[in-house]
Structure 1
Amino acid sequence: MSRPIKFRAWHKKRKRMYEVLILHMETLLNGGIWATVKGRDVIDQKDIHVQIQPKDIIVMQYTGLKDRNGKEIYEGDVIQMDCGCDSEYGCSHGPWHGYVKWDPETASYELRDMDGRWSGEAYEESMIDEYLVVGNIYETPLEDTP
């Protein structure tokens, strides 16, 4: 399966998500991963390139999957899934919320619940029609989801 390799970046100080244009890998001299991101000059109303230093950045990769509305799913996204109960019987569980996390041990993306526990059965490509991106862990923490 081929997919585009894309990243986004959370700027810790500005508390804002950016589209990554160039990812500068860590070397012995630069102190960590840098990113050149797409910003906006509010005075001139034009796109600009902004560099984010290693201490101010959290980089997240695109998983290659899209939710049921066609929105790309990235690491750190908060996912909502219906509980799967037949509404005819009055489901009291409500939707399940989790977040996407990269697991280096299994070299795969996983869904975690609010407590960080793995929910492997919830993150299967065959269930992609059930996923809905409702935010991300930086702008919409799990405890703030309805």
Structure 2
Amino acid sequence: MITHAEMSPDKYVLMQSTGLKDKNGVEIFEGDIVAIENHPFQKKKGDMGVGMEINGNYEIGWEKHDLTWCAGSLLLARLKPYVRVIGNIYENPELLEAD
């Protein structure tokens, strides 16, 4: 139990739930970083112009224009079977750094 004396408001960040869960049943929040893996449209090595570069790490955010949750610019609701929460932007910002 945390006492009032131990609480520091600037130590915690509230994160909005998306109402969705990843492929392992983990709740997804705004600011989470998710890995997208094995998507059927993922471009395979040797493919000639077919598919997209989808596999990778994405920040979850609210898309104001479309009024929906997105992983990068991809619609989160359509990616759920391929998404795994791996961290968040506050505790693991290095997960979004390009290799």
TM-score by length of 1: 0.47
Runs of 4+ in structure 1 deviating by more than 3 angstroms, as ranges, are 49-53, 83-87, 103-107
Q: Is the 8 A contact 1:83 1:96 kept in 2?
A: no
- The C-alpha deviation readout for 1:34-65, integer Å capped at 9, x for no partner, is xxxxxxxxxxxxx2355543xx2532111110
Distance in 1 of aligned mates of 2:54 and 2:79: 17
**Which has more helix, going by share of residues?**
2
Per the alignment, in what secondary structure is the counterpart of residue 78 of structure 2? helix
**Aligned residue pairs: how many?**
87
The counterpart of 2:78, out of the listed 126, 130, 145, is 126
Computing the radius of gyration from Cα coordinates, the structure with the larger value is 1
Of structures 1 and 2, the one scoring higher in RCO (CA 8 A, sep 6+) is 2
Q: Give the Cα separation in 2 of the matches to 1:79 and 1:96.
A: 8
2:89 maps to: 137
Taking structure 1 as reference, are residues 69 and 109 closer, same or farther at Cα in structure 2, changes over 3 Å only?
same
Mind listing any 5+ residue stretches in structure 2 that lack a counterpart? 48-52
Partner of 1:73: 28
Q: Deviations over 1:69-117 (max 9, x none)?
A: 0000001000111263476x578x68321101124454432222xxxxx
Give the secondary-structure state (helix, strand or coil) at the position aligned to 2:57. strand
Q: Which runs of 5+ in 1 are unaligned?
A: 1-46, 113-118
**Which structure: greater strand fraction?**
1
Amino acid at match of 2:77: E
Query: Which residue identity lines up with residue 25 of structure 2 in the other structure?
Result: G
Specify the SS of the correspondent of 1:58: coil
Counterpart for residue 27 of structure 1? none
- Cα distance in 1 for partners of 2:75, 2:3 equals 35
Match of 1:99 in 2: 59
